[in-house]
Each structure stands twice: as C-alpha cells, then as structure tokens.
Structure 1
Amino acid sequence: MKSAAFLAAWSRTAAFIAASVLSLIFAQASLASTNWPSDDYDPAIPTLSTVLGYEPGERITWSQDVRRYFDALAMAAPDRVRIVEYGRSWEGRQLFYVVISSPENIANSEGTRAGMHALRDPRSTSSAEAERLIKDLAPASWLAYGVHGNEISSTDAAMMTAYHLLASRQDSRVPQILERTTVILNPMQNPDGRDRFIHRFESALGLEPSSDRISAEHNEPWPSGRTNHYLFDLNRDWFIRSQPETRGHADAVLEWLPIAFVDLHEMGSDSTYYFAPEAVPYNPHLAADQRASLELFGRTNAKWFDEFGLDYFTREVYDAFYPGYGASWPAYFGSVAMTYEQASARGLLVRQYDGVELAYASTVRNHFLTSLGTLETVANNREKFLRDFYNYQQTAVAEGSEGDIQAYVVPAQNDQNAVDRLGALLASQGVEVDSATESFKACGAEFAANSLVINLDQPAKRFLRTLMDRETPMDPQFVAEQERLNDKNLPDEMYDITAWSLPMLLNVESVSCKQRVTTNAKVIEPGVVPTPDLPTKATVAYIVPWGERSAIQLLSHALRDGLAVKSSDRSFVHGGATYPGGSLIIDVADNPESLHESLVAYVKKTQARVVAVDDSWVTDGPSFGSRKVVRMNAPRIALAWDEPTNSYSAGNFRFVVERQFDYPVTAVRVEQLRKADLSRYQVLVLPDSSDGYADALGEKGVARIRDWVERGGVLISLARATRLLADPGTDLLATRREYRLDLLPEDDAPDTELTRVPGTALDQQAFGVATESREANSDGVGGAQLLATVDQDHWLAAGVAPQLHVLARTSDVYTPLRQNEGVNVASFASAENVLASGHLWERNRKQMAYKPFVMARKLGKGRVVAFTQDPTVRAYQEGLNVILANAIFRGAAHARPLR
C-alpha cells in the first residue's frame, strides 16, 4: 500500500491516462506515468504525447524517436537547449548529448568549459583566480542514460527530465538548477543495443503486456540488447576506449569536466532502487571528499523516495573499485561519479517474486526522481563541489611531486608499437605523456630514445596510479571477509575484475621512479601513434619484424590483397639485424610491380615497420627458402555464434580480429555447425561457453568437426570451450579438466536416496571435509592477471614475448599435455610467481601453477589450439594479440590440407 503522503502528493497532478488498452496497466502504477507533482507546465514546450503520440512510460521509445523528441524541445526552446553529436554507433545511429540551462549559461558554454579546464590545472591557475571562477561558473552536471541497451527505463526518464526542466513553472528547484548549473543529458549511450531489445520485445508483444517472466517478451534471444554491435559491455570500456560509443562519450566528458556524473542503470526485477553511497571496496586513489559527497546525493534522493513511499538501498553490491565504469572513470578527474540502479521491468510489466506487478512507467518515474534529485544536489552545493574539484587537482599535483612514485618510464622495446599506443591511449584521456627524443639516464638505469616519460606532478596523478601501478590494493578487511565467505562456499562480494594494469595488459615493461624524470622529449598528442620511416624500394624482398599488432595488421592487408607472404618459424639475422621468429618475408619476385606502393600504403595505415633488402643472404637462422619458413595463406575464419556461446566472448573475438587485426570473420550459428560443410573454412573458433558445446553440437556435429580438423582445419578454443576438446568423448586434445584442489569425487559415497546411512564420528577437521562442496570447479576467479611462460621453440610462440600476462576470469584448470600428445606452448608460472596482479584465492594459486594457458596438437593434417583463458576479453589484452594471431594465421600455414 502507498502512504497517504504519497497519494496526496500525486493527487495534485493531472494524470496522463492512455486512451488505449494499456491504460489499466498504468492506472495500476499509481499514476507513475505522470510528471513531477505540478499541474502548471508551459504549453509552448511540446510533451512526449504531442511529438510521439504516447505518455511517458506508456511505451519503450526507439532511438530515432528519442532524437525526434529532443529535436522538438530544441526547436521550442533554442536559447535553453543545444544538441551536440559526438559520433555514430557501429550500426550508424547518432550519438548525441543535450545541454540544458539558462539562456545566459547556454550562451557562455565555451566560457564554462574554459573555466573548468583552468580549475583542472592549479599549476597555472592561482587560488585567487580559482575562487573567482568558483563564484562565477555554472558547471556541468552529467546524467548518462542507457549504456546497456536492455536497461530501458533511463532513456525515457531522460526525456521526462528534459521536459520538466524546460516546462515546469511551479517546481522551485528548476530555476536554481538552470541558473547555477549546466545540465547535460546523454539520453542513450547504446542505441544499437536499445533498438535490438525493442525490436525483439515488440515482436513478442501480444494484445496486452504479460507480467509472466516465462513469456517471450521477457526472455531475450541471444544476444541480448545489453551490448553494442560487437557485443561489448560499454560500461567496462572507459579507459581502454575500444568502442566508438565510449570514445566519443569520454571525449565529451573531458571537454566539459562535469563536477557530478551519474550513470543510470537497471538491475534484476526483484530489487528496488539503488543509489550512492557505493559499496566497498573503494579505490584507494580517489579523494576522501569525493566519497563524502556521495552521501549528499544519497540523502537528497532518499528524501524524495520517502516523500513518495518508495523503497531503496545504498552501500551494497555496486562498488567504486574498478576504474573502467562510466560511473567511476570521471572520478579520476575530480568529478563526483556514481551509479543509480532501478529494478527492471524488462518490458512494460513484470511480476516480482512477491506477486507485485512492476510497471515500466514506475521505473521511468524513479529514474526521473533521482535525475532531478541529483541536479538539485549540485545546485545546492555548487561552490563546494567546484572547490573540491580544484582541491582534487591541487592535492594530485602535490602527491605526484612528493609520493613514493614520482614518475614512470616505459622503455623503448621490441614491441614499440605497443609502447606508442600506450602513450597515445593515456594522452587521449588528458594525461601528460612525453616521448624521449634521445637516450637518457633515470631511476638508476639507461633508457633509449622513444621511451615514454610520465611524470606524476600533474592533475592526472591519481588516474595514472590506478592504471599504471602493478597493483591497486583493496581494503585488507574487505579481502579478509571475502576469504571468510569463500571458505564457507558463500558468494564473494567482488563485483568485477581486480587487476587492470595497462602495462601488463599490453605486456610492456614499465619502471616506477622515485624522482621526477627530466630529459629532452616531445609531447605525445592524444590518440596519435607515430608512423615509422617508410621503406625504400627493395630489389629482393621486404622484411616485416613480427611481434607487434601493427605487423599483424600489415599481414592482414597483404593477404586480403592477394600478396605472396612467407614467415619464418625461427629468428634470423640479415644484414647485421636480428629479426624475431614469425617475421614476414615478402619477395619482390613473387608479387606485382605495385608491391612497393602497396607496402608504403600499409605502413601509413598500420604503423608497421618494414625493411627493404637487396639480397637474401642470412648469416644466422633459417634462410628465406628454408623448410622452417612457411608460406602464409588467407584463411577463412568461421566463428561459432549464438547459443551456447558466451556472447561477450564471441563479440570480443570478432572485434579483435576484425578491428584490431583488420581481418574478416564469418559468424556461423552453432546449429549450422552440426551439419554445415566447413570445407570453405580453414579456421574454426569456439568462443567461451558456460553451457558447453557437446549437447549443442551432438555426436554427429563433433564428429564432423573432428573430421574437418583431420583433413587440414585449425580448431581454436577459448576459455571454457576447451571443455569440449578435453572431453574424453571427443578427445580432440589429450588434456583433462581438473577438480578443485584436494577435492576428488567420492567413488564410495553412499546412495543419498537410502533412508539410513552409516554413522560417522567427526572432529573439527573432519567436519570441514564433510561439509566441503563436491562441485568439480575450482574456486571462482574474478579477474586477476597471471604470469605465464612461453615455450619459444614452438611455431605458435614465434615473435611472442618469453613471458605473458594473462587476465584470468574462469577457474577451469587443465592437466598439461604429455610430450607425445602435444605441446604446452604457454604455461602459468610457479605458485609463488603466478599471481602478477589482483586477487586470487589460495587454492587457485596453488592449483594453477605450471598448468597450461595455451596447448597445441597436430591432428591428422590439421591443428588444434586451446586457450584455457580467453585472450580477447574486452579487447584489453593486446599483449596476447601475437599469440592469438599465430594461432589463426600461422596455424593455417602449418596445417597441411590436400590442395
């Protein structure tokens, strides 16, 4: 039952009653489809119904209609509304944000941005000048909606919020909000996923919405609308910036530097509403006053939820530890950033566990309430938040010049392309990064030109520490509690990965220095990777050193253009220079006359290094015509798609190969793999799958795949897809998945259906054994970076670093292959050294030691390659790109199908 205060408050409004069959549903929502309790709205501002033909929350709004409504608002109030496009989604939909404020603030938008950037750098802005700016600025409050496409209500709430800000003539907060702040709404961060969800929902909708969770409208087919076109979770992409939706949004945030940022989400249908303060663990590199400010927002939201008799919770589940969320990344530039979560209707109506029916209109209303509550909080605390913002920068600079780490040096190294991309990635996020123009001494070592120098006496100091440090520590008490829960086989409270060090993800060396580093250097421009010297024209061949992503891209372009390319399994020396295994050899005689022009174009596009040679004499290692040099081909790649694949894994792999390697992939539904002719394909990839492939493929499907491999195909498994290869029934790879350490199945266990079982006498230790979980899996791995060593003698290791950092997210552990059964190409390090960063349960640490990360086997004329962890997770692990590319391209080159 709603409280009397709630009913009285809503009775002051005019209810928007839909003249359709849905009207009964929205009546059940206790007038949830109405706007803020005020019956005085400016008729000059168009309502949702006048533009789109329905009331707020009555339907789920398509992305193009969202834009149509905001265009109507901008046309009605051009002096108070501006729409700014910041990009296009993968599928070509507009990405835009909306600026709403007073006419004066809108006219002075450039001055607002300039003022915020002045506050961002206390090295050039004095305290007196900062105080003047604090008195005058109308800073941005940023509300970001719909990053997950099937979390639908926040986008409709964005339209409701905009209408209220422009049309309300009774809400006393609105003039203060518009005069004191600049409101920025990003109505939908993921239009591709949103429209995917709406299409499937409306396709399943009948005469009236069903609240039954087993109804088709509440069960999304694979893949869900949560993700973007490449099936990425955009809420994990903010610092790696792999997707256009994130890059454009993050660039816009950096341009405005809002003092408050909220990411509005949905969660499971059986919950209520969540808002800040956030849960532990809290990232130690954030400032104390940022967390203290979260309570101001929480109390304002709570006040309005109490007014309307709505339930909520705080300080649970959603933490502020991982820096790649939309609700955490802005905090590293001084913003107060937070997450809001609304129980989802996942449609227009859903029945909750207690029988209460939750209407979509109610979920829209709740996000509308917190949107206004957030803006109210900023308006009431504008000067405090601006002063905290300036203080954040001051203390960051001071800490960077006085702390235990005052600089990082990323040495020039074999994978210089990765070094350059690291510098460009940091620079694109407001970090000051230099590239040394000459060799220099620092930190007790010598460094070559082109090394990166990153001094920490800059405003981005805290951001740098959380991305560049090997480890971001969690609160010891929190970790101890997670260990206790794990010992009792209870779910832990770690929400996302616990390790994300950028140097490790790119597998490049980074040196921490205790003093500031000074050397001759040039500033790295945001997002700019330098192009190496263009090759001169060769008379015999061109050599492309292997081991960099840029070389993979060049290979892709060359193969797609039909050029003849060879690759050496081993390193070799030519002209006094040593070239790593895998290096490409492109003979002039075997290619068209336009070869040189093609390679110059490739270098400009990929930044690959290409060396022209006028003789073929090799002084050490395989000659160009050796049997250890294989001719590369242009393999057709089939990727298992649809159930039971993990959609993230399928999308991540496809993105890495198509957008980081520049090579096409064909998605093939698993159902087709049961019976399809795979003879046109040279490579088949099975992405991660928690449900497994055995049942989906069936015995005949597995037999067809095995036959295809034996005839010369290359089968690659990622993470839990390796279970199929290790299954004794398929025996594609002579490895077996292990039970959890010290836990074996009880062959002599009594029949649990017996009425009586033998009696036992237990002591404390025996009690622990008796209550142990008998599940086969090892303890869950939430996302730790592990160290793996590489067998440099195998062709899969050509050009691969001797040691790799692997982001582990599955607890599957496999037995090593015996020498007569295949090769353990990469294996995890010893128990003492396997954990490179993050948190790993003690049993996992011991069990994963020396177990394989990459296994390979020759099967008939084909090859089988298994990755026990997914090397393409979130497109993070560029340091694993070479070994993945080897599995694809060199695997196809080493297979021997009948020609």
Structure 2
Amino acid sequence: MQKNILGLLFFALLLPLAGSAQLQSPDDFLPHRLGETFTPHHLLVDYFQHVAANSDRIQLTQYGMTNEKRPLLHAFVSTPENLARLDAIRENNLRRAGVLEGTPDPDLDIAIVWLSFSVHGNEAAGSEASMGVVYDLANPANSETGNWLENTVVILDPSLNPDGYSRYTHWQRGVANLIPNPNPSVREHLEPWPGGRVNHYLFDLNRDWAWQTQVESQQRLKVYQQWLPQIHADLHEQYYDSPYYFAPAARPYHKYITDWQADFQVEIGKNHAKYFDKNGWLYFTKEVFDLFYPSYGDTYPTFTGAIGMTYEQGGHSRGGRAIIAPNRDTLTLLDRVTHHRTTALSTVEVASVNSERLLNNYTSYYQESQRNPKGKYRTYIIKGDNPQGKLKAFTELLDKNGIRYGRASGTSVSAYNYQNGSNGNISVADGDLIISAYQPLSTLTQVLMDPTAELEDSLTYDITSWSLPYAYGLEAYATTQRLSVSGDFTFPDTENARSTVEDGAYAYLASWASMKDASFLADLLRRDLLVRYASSPFAIEGESYPAGTLVITRSDNRKKQDFVAIVRKIAGEHGISLTSIQTGFSDQGQDLGSDAMRIVEPPKIAVLSGEGTSANGFGQVWYYFEQRLGYPIGIYDADNIGRIDLNDYNTLVMPEGRYRLSESNLKEIQDWVSGGGRLIALGYANSALAGKSGFNLSEFATDKDEKDADQADEKATLDSRYDDYAGAARRRISRSLPGAIFKLKMDETHPLAFGLSDEYFSLKTSTLHYAPMKNSWNVGVIGENPMVSGFVGAQALEQMKNTVVYGVQERGGGSIVYLVDNPLFRGFWENGLFLFSNALFLR
C-alpha cells in the first residue's frame, strides 16, 4: 500500500492538486479512527500521500530511507503562494543566518517551524498525532490554520524512526486484545527486547543529532542544515505515570543559550497551558529535561539558533491503547494523540503570531555569532600531523554539521593544550587545521569543541562532556586569539593511495592509527590475505615505524593470485597510502620475517545479544562490525550461551548488559579461552566476570581493602541518620557520574594501546571501578590525581582513583580483555572505536 513511494526517492512525491473535495480526515481515511489503535507505518505514509494529493497547502518529499528500506518523509505545509516560492524562502532564511551570502529579502520573511514526531519508535503517539496535525494544517476549510500559514512554513517529519515505530506497532497489533485491557501487568503493556525505542541498529536516535552515526540522522540533518528553522519541537512520550511535559525546559541550561531562547520557551509554554487549562489536562514544566547535552532534538536546534523544545506525553510503550494511570484514571491512546496534536498546533500558532519577533531575534543571533562568539576560545587548532585517518573522520563530522574549517598559516600563539590541560605558547604550522569561532554556526562549533562544558547545575540528564578532540584522539589546542584561515584543508586523493603500491616490492607497510586503518585491515583479511603487525618499533630503509605498523609481505601471500593488484585496489578504496619496501632487513629492531612481526589471526567472532544484554550496547557492537568495520559476525542469544559451539569461533564479544551466567557457563568460557579464545567484555558485562573464580578482575585488590570499604560504608550509613529529607537529591549527586572524560595512563608497549599515545581520554559513563589486576596487564589506568572534563561527584571521583579501565588477562593460549569503559558508547567516540579494533585484531 505504499503506492510506489520507493520509486520517488528525493523527488516531490505528489504535486498539490487544486481543490480539496477529496481530502479526508484520518478517521475517514484509515481503517480505524485516530487513536483507536496503532497505525502501521505504511498506512501513515499512505495518509500523508493522500493529503498531498488532495490539498494545495502541502508538498511531500522523501528525504531518505532507513536501514530496513522504509521511507523517511518531510511534509512542507504553508499557503499555495508560499509553497510556490519554497526554495526562495529557504535560501532567504540561510542568508539571514549568514550561511549564504547576500541580503535577506523582506518579502520572503516567513517563519519556519519544524515538528519532529516519535524519534523513539515506541513513543508512538507522536507519529499517530502527526496525521491529525497535517490534516488540521493542510485542510483548506480550516481558516484558522490558513491564517497561521500566511507567514509560516511548517516542516513535519511524521516518523523519525520508522524501523523502531514499525517494530513496536506491529508487535502491539499482534498481541493486543480485541478489547483494550488497561491493566499495566498484561502482555500488551510489556514490550519485549529490544523494543521499538531504537532504530535498526538499536541506537537511540535522540542522542545522535550531533554525531550522526546513523543513516536516519545523516539524511535528516542534511535537510535540517538546508533550512535552520526558527522553532523546532521534538514530540516524545515518557512513562505513563507522568502527565504532559512542555517548555520551558529544566535547568541546567548550557551557558551559550541566549536569554531570548530561554524567554521565548516560556511564551510557548504559556500558550500550551492556555489550551491545557481550558480542557483540565494535567501538565508540568521546568523539570527533568534540561538543555545541556548537545545531541538531542531540543539542544542541537537550540545551538543552531532555534527555539528547541521537547514535548513529553505520558504513555510510552507501556501505554498501549489504554492503561490505568497512578491517579486511577484510564489514559487512552486517543488522549495521548489529542494532547500532542494540541501542542503541535499551538507551536505553529505562537510562531505565526510572533513571526516578526522570531525572525528579528534569529537574525540578531547569527549576526552576534559571527561578530562576537559567545565562548572563551576563538580559534581551535588541530595539528596537521595527526593521523590522517583521524583527521579525515573528524572533518567529515564537521562537514555533516555545517562547521567551517580551513588551513592555518604559520604563527605562534598562547593556547590551551587539550592533552595536559595547561596554557602556553605553541607554534601553529602551515597546514595545521583551524576552526574559527567567527562563523554562522559559531555556537555549535564552540559547544562541540570546547575542552569542557560549564555546568551551572550538577543535576543533569545525560553525559556532561563530549569534546571532539578527545573523542577523536587528536592533538589539539584552543586559543582566545582570532586566527585567520588561509585556505581549504585538503587530503590526498584515492589515486595517490593506489600509486604507493609498487610492483615487485618485498613488502608493503601501512600505518595503524585510526579506524580507516582498521577497516583496511578488515578488508585485507576478508580477501584472505595474510597480514602481520609489528610488536615493537623498528626502522627500515631509513625510516622509523611504531609498534602496530601493518606488514604485508609478498612471501606470505605468494600463493595469492593477483596479490599486488588486490592490495592496490583495497588501498585505493580505503584511501590508504602504503610504503613499498624492497628488503626485509631492518636498520633497527626486528626484521620483517621475525616472529616479532606477529601474524594477525583473522577473528571469527560471536556476539551475544537478546535478553540480558543492553539493546543499545548490543546495537553499538553490531553497528561497529557492519557499518564501520565491514566484518562478519555470528549473533547469539545470551540466554543460550551454553548452546553455542565456541570452537567455531576464536573471539567472543559480550556487549554491555546484566548477564545471568551460571558456574558451568563461566567454566566453559574459561576452558575455551585457555584453548586460544579471546573474550572481550564491555562496560557492565564486566560485572558478570568480576570477582568470579578464574577471572582476575575485582573491585578490591585485597581482603583488607574490601573490609575497609565495608566499614566506611557502614560509618557513612550511621552518619546519615539525621540527614534532612529535602537534601536527598543533592547528596546523591556526590555519588553520581553521569558521563565525564577521564585521562588515562596507557602502556604503549601493549598491543591494546598500539596506535594510541601514552595518554588516552576515555568517556566514562558509569561508576564501575576495579582495582588494578594481579598477574595481568593493566593497560589503561586512572591515577591518583586524574585530569577530568565534565561533572563527577566527589565520592565517585574518589572511587575512580587508582583503578584499571582497560586490561588484559592472559589465560592459557588465550586472553580476556576487560573494557570497563565501553569504547563503543553511542558510536561517536572515534578513538574508542579504534581501541576496540586493537582488542579485536592485535593479540
């Protein structure tokens, strides 16, 4: 029933037709009344096509497809006159923002409102409501909305996460009783793993706006950057035990949010309250949902000049079609749809009534961004001799976010050193990459690049640090001085990479320093080429090479037909410049034929999934292998671990999770490791191994340490007997670690640290902490006085001191890799993805 929508990718789906005699409401068009049951995604698409075919107020476009090949839609709604000049309005808005050159045309002064529905698929009332909203706006018989559209363009995204929405709605329709049962304990209110919240790769798309790891985010943000609206509302659901939440947002606000943005949220909230008060609906504001972490659907638009807001309806996946709420009333799907429909339309109303004020303040916002950036640092310097793969990945993210950068001219400045947290004079070389804060998206630039984000209140909703130089493992500096950009920053082309593979060479050497190198290695192994890596530094033909350098010899691959052609092809595809070597005799260190040039054993990988694992955690592993590495894996249900023939694999990955491993399960894993297997545990998966017989990971180094900790806990419990009730939340944050960056000391001589420096910045998102292990390699550790970016409670910080974060235990012929901080978290910590590649390939 998709009416050939897949054949119309990136084109207007249906041209508006004159008249509206055939326009039907959702109740008339669908096989059910809106809010009566859940609408399959293909019927939602059909309805939007129907409206576009029967109203001259709408243009419908498909801007992309999901991993499961469902269409991603945008509906542009305004008057026919505005739609006829839609691209001119868009370009005029970009001139207002300074993204395009030229003076804005006052005849094109149209406010832009963007409404996003159900980024979490099992918060389905948003997508259900989108059909009512588009009908109300596109119906020519509705004169009130017609008046709003005279000076407003509304962009509706009816389903940001079609794969998750479909997973949830199909499950709901399959298990729900004919007559809705509001009892919260029955099965139609208990969604199974992994749930519809997440997309195909089980990522939370509401945490992906800035990082754009997922195909939905990448395609959506490409369009968003072409519009940069004045208002963005993100329509969600929260658990059914809460009423409706709308703006203004909770504190803390990021300090770069302007007074105008904060104050106008209040105006919008009051307009919503007018309708909720009239109907007697419960709501709350200024609680829970803050504006700090930059990758949400409210903060990212805020940092690009919009009034960004989250709306949260009580319901969520538990809501079903009807559920008994804590006030003993029955909350129905129709209630939830009606509330979202109301706030969406109220948002458009406020934008229209205040169109001139919105545009004037929006213009001032961007003018001020380019004249006087908000933050302390005015230029960010990324050294040009950083690994090219990391620089390339970094600039690709800047490009996705519309952040401008260029090449530096040689000079000397005083700057902050990201690596050690100190200030001093540095030399800026010709060819270093620089990012000026004097640009249209100045605020977003500074939010993402600042070494640390200032937190006005430690009661926050998400991670508190994310600085991109740390995430990408780059040598970087920030200066309060304004430096000019001397030209474009460029990279060698693919043909140059191919030309480095000379015929008849003894061997080819490749760097090992970035995910680009890891994906190159994975491709070589998939083509059955034998690859070695240097276990220690060496020098050959007058050049020095670090440990981890990949070595591809002609001798090892002499039976491989077209060996050189294959290497040249793969190097070109990955943009890898190889060094062609004519001898195996090293000037220093081990020769290329030495056992020190260890063979990379192709990993045969099993990954645990299902109940017991975190859906996000498993999805991060799945995404890494399929989308970043391009390498095959076998996926197994964690509850069936005892039925896996581990002898078919040499690598077992345990994603984040709360595992239920029996003693026999653990014994089988230990025997398999002793026989040559490698076990990799990420994040909370380590808690299933810690303290167990045969595993060296433990919270305490000695029995005395454990006893002392128990006594300290008992004393703290006794001391707290007279604490006041009102201060409980503030006391809890002392033990809190919502997400901060810790500087680790790395053992560069261990393969787990190859390609990294002796200092690694790890994103820590939990209070898991373990003592340095006995009879093991403690590769990445936190010392006594750690350098930290972001918020960490005082008690939590004490717990983190002198702990192991990344370690390796050798057992028989195999090993166990403990990754206490999950390096794959949300898929955006580029240096963490590379560290995981070490765990996978270098043994």
Quick check: TM above 0.5? Answer: yes
CA contact (8 A) 1:638 1:668 kept: yes
Structure 2 residue 146 is the aligned partner of structure 1 residue 178: no
SS of residue matched to 2:606: strand
Aligned residue number for residue 445 of structure 1 = 426
Structure 1 residue aligned with 2:451, among 465, 470, 474?
A: 470
SS of residue matched to 1:709: helix
Please give the alpha-carbon distance, in whole angstroms, between the structure 1 residues aligned to 2:114 and 2:289: 19
SS of residue matched to 1:563: coil
Structure 2 residue 292 is the aligned partner of structure 1 residue 326: no
Structure 1 residue aligned with 2:121, among 149, 160, 163?
A: 149
What pairs up with 1:79-228 in 2 under 5 angstroms?
A: 79-121=56-98, 124-125=101-102, 129-130=103-104, 132-133=105-106, 136-167=108-139, 169-170=141-142, 172-228=143-199
SS of residue matched to 2:737: coil
Structure 2 residue 661 is the aligned partner of structure 1 residue 697: yes
Please give the alpha-carbon distance, in whole angstroms, between the structure 2 residues aligned to 1:603 and 1:450: 24
Structure 1 residue aligned with 2:223, among 252, 256, 259?
A: 252
Aligned residue number for residue 17 of structure 1 = none
**C-alpha distance 260-623 of structure 1, shift in aligned 2 (>3 A):** same
Structure 2 residue 675 is the aligned partner of structure 1 residue 721: no
Please give the alpha-carbon distance, in whole angstroms, between the structure 1 residues aligned to 2:649 and 2:573: 28
Please give the alpha-carbon distance, in whole angstroms, between the structure 2 residues aligned to 1:617 and 1:851: 42
Return the letter of the residue paired with 1:790. M
Please give the alpha-carbon distance, in whole angstroms, between the structure 2 residues aligned to 1:85 and 1:531: 35
Deviation at 1:520, TM superposition (A): 3.4
Please give the alpha-carbon distance, in whole angstroms, between the structure 2 residues aligned to 1:360 and 1:628: 65
Structure 2 residue aligned with 1:788, among 744, 751, 759?
A: 744
Aligned residue number for residue 699 of structure 2 = 736
Structure 2 residue 378 is the aligned partner of structure 1 residue 406: yes
Please give the alpha-carbon distance, in whole angstroms, between the structure 1 residues aligned to 2:720 and 2:199: 50
Deviation at 1:866, TM superposition (A): 0.3
Return the letter of the residue paired with 1:294. Q
Deviation at 1:377, TM superposition (A): 0.4
Please give the alpha-carbon distance, in whole angstroms, between the structure 1 residues aligned to 2:110 and 2:667: 67
Which one is further off, 732-741 or 61-70? 732-741
Deviation at 1:643, TM superposition (A): 1.4
What do the CA deviations read for 1:4-41 (whole angstroms, capped 9, x no partner)?
xxxxxxxxxxxxxxxxxxxxxxxxxxxxxxxxxxxxx9
Aligned residue number for residue 555 of structure 2 = 589
**Unmatched runs of 5 consecutive residues or more in structure 2:** 1-18, 415-424
Please give the alpha-carbon distance, in whole angstroms, between the structure 1 residues aligned to 2:110 and 2:493: 36
Deviation at 1:532, TM superposition (A): 5.8
Structure 2 residue 751 is the aligned partner of structure 1 residue 834: no
Aligned residue number for residue 391 of structure 2 = 419
Deviation at 1:529, TM superposition (A): 9.2
Deviation at 1:737, TM superposition (A): 5.6
Structure 2 residue 351 is the aligned partner of structure 1 residue 378: yes
SS of residue matched to 2:648: coil
Aligned residue number for residue 537 of structure 2 = 571
Structure 2 residue 801 is the aligned partner of structure 1 residue 849: yes
Deviation at 1:136, TM superposition (A): 3.2
Please give the alpha-carbon distance, in whole angstroms, between the structure 2 residues aligned to 1:431 and 1:747: 49
**C-alpha distance 748-211 of structure 1, shift in aligned 2 (>3 A):** closer
Structure 2 residue 243 is the aligned partner of structure 1 residue 278: no
Aligned residue number for residue 862 of structure 1 = 814
Structure 2 residue aligned with 1:356, among 329, 347, 350?
A: 329
Deviation at 1:341, TM superposition (A): 0.4
Return the letter of the residue paired with 1:221. P
Deviation at 1:335, TM superposition (A): 1.1
SS of residue matched to 1:805: strand
Structure 2 residue 649 is the aligned partner of structure 1 residue 681: yes
Please give the alpha-carbon distance, in whole angstroms, between the structure 2 residues aligned to 1:256 and 1:387: 17
Return the letter of the residue paired with 1:744. A
**Unmatched runs of 5 consecutive residues or more in structure 1:** 1-40, 480-492, 750-759, 892-899
SS of residue matched to 1:744: helix
Deviation at 1:447, TM superposition (A): 3.6
Return the letter of the residue paired with 2:447. T
CA contact (8 A) 2:113 2:231 kept: yes
Deviation at 1:518, TM superposition (A): 3.0
Please give the alpha-carbon distance, in whole angstroms, between the structure 2 residues aligned to 1:545 and 1:92: 36
SS of residue matched to 1:372: helix
CA contact (8 A) 1:778 1:813 kept: no
Please give the alpha-carbon distance, in whole angstroms, between the structure 2 residues aligned to 1:50 and 1:767: 62
Please give the alpha-carbon distance, in whole angstroms, between the structure 2 residues aligned to 1:397 and 1:414: 28
CA contact (8 A) 2:221 2:400 kept: no
Structure 2 residue 472 is the aligned partner of structure 1 residue 459: no
Structure 1 residue aligned with 2:842, among 865, 871, 890?
A: 890
**C-alpha distance 715-386 of structure 1, shift in aligned 2 (>3 A):** same
Please give the alpha-carbon distance, in whole angstroms, between the structure 2 residues aligned to 1:449 and 1:862: 47
Please give the alpha-carbon distance, in whole angstroms, between the structure 2 residues aligned to 1:513 and 1:422: 19
Aligned residue number for residue 433 of structure 1 = 405
Return the letter of the residue paired with 1:852. V
Please give the alpha-carbon distance, in whole angstroms, between the structure 2 residues aligned to 1:763 and 1:632: 55
Return the letter of the residue paired with 1:745. D
Please give the alpha-carbon distance, in whole angstroms, between the structure 2 residues aligned to 1:218 and 1:763: 41
Structure 2 residue 790 is the aligned partner of structure 1 residue 804: no
CA contact (8 A) 1:212 1:351 kept: yes
**C-alpha distance 363-543 of structure 1, shift in aligned 2 (>3 A):** same
CA contact (8 A) 1:406 1:455 kept: yes
CA contact (8 A) 1:141 1:260 kept: yes
Structure 2 residue 475 is the aligned partner of structure 1 residue 509: yes
Which one is further off, 44-53 or 226-235? 44-53
Please give the alpha-carbon distance, in whole angstroms, between the structure 2 residues aligned to 1:178 and 1:51: 24
Return the letter of the residue paired with 2:673. V
SS of residue matched to 1:745: helix
What pairs up with 1:483-882 in 2 under 5 angstroms?
A: 493-518=459-484, 520-522=486-488, 533-534=497-498, 535-538=500-503, 539-591=505-557, 592-689=560-657, 691=658, 693=659, 696-728=660-692, 730-736=693-699, 744-745=709-710, 779-818=735-774, 821-831=775-785, 833-835=786-788, 837-882=789-834
SS of residue matched to 2:72: strand
Deviation at 1:283, TM superposition (A): 0.8
Deviation at 1:43, TM superposition (A): 4.9
CA contact (8 A) 2:91 2:100 kept: no
SS of residue matched to 1:445: strand
CA contact (8 A) 2:241 2:314 kept: yes
User: What is the Cα-based RMSD across aligned positions, in Å?
Assistant: 2.8
**C-alpha distance 109-765 of structure 1, shift in aligned 2 (>3 A):** closer
Please give the alpha-carbon distance, in whole angstroms, between the structure 2 residues aligned to 1:252 and 1:547: 33
Deviation at 1:765, TM superposition (A): 8.6
What do the CA deviations read for 1:166-194 (whole angstroms, capped 9, x no partner)?
22635x53122221111110000001111
Please give the alpha-carbon distance, in whole angstroms, between the structure 2 residues aligned to 1:554 and 1:586: 12
Structure 2 residue aligned with 1:264, among 235, 239, 259?
A: 235
Return the letter of the residue paired with 1:202. R
CA contact (8 A) 1:427 1:524 kept: no
How many percent of aligned residue pairs carry the same amino acid?
28
Please give the alpha-carbon distance, in whole angstroms, between the structure 1 residues aligned to 2:460 and 2:706: 22
CA contact (8 A) 2:452 2:467 kept: yes
Please give the alpha-carbon distance, in whole angstroms, between the structure 2 residues aligned to 1:748 and 1:413: 49
What do the CA deviations read for 1:667-719 (whole angstroms, capped 9, x no partner)?
11012212321111111011122x3x2xx232222221111111111011111
Please give the alpha-carbon distance, in whole angstroms, between the structure 1 residues aligned to 2:398 and 2:689: 40
What do the CA deviations read for 1:852-875 (whole angstroms, capped 9, x no partner)?
011111111111110111111001
SS of residue matched to 1:522: coil
SS of residue matched to 1:423: helix
Deviation at 1:597, TM superposition (A): 2.6
Return the letter of the residue paired with 1:536. V
Aligned residue number for residue 24 of structure 1 = none
With normalisation by structure 1, the TM-score equals 0.85
Please give the alpha-carbon distance, in whole angstroms, between the structure 2 residues aligned to 1:580 and 1:414: 14
SS of residue matched to 1:785: strand
What do the CA deviations read for 1:520-541 (whole angstroms, capped 9, x no partner)?
321569xx99886431314211
Aligned residue number for residue 300 of structure 1 = 271
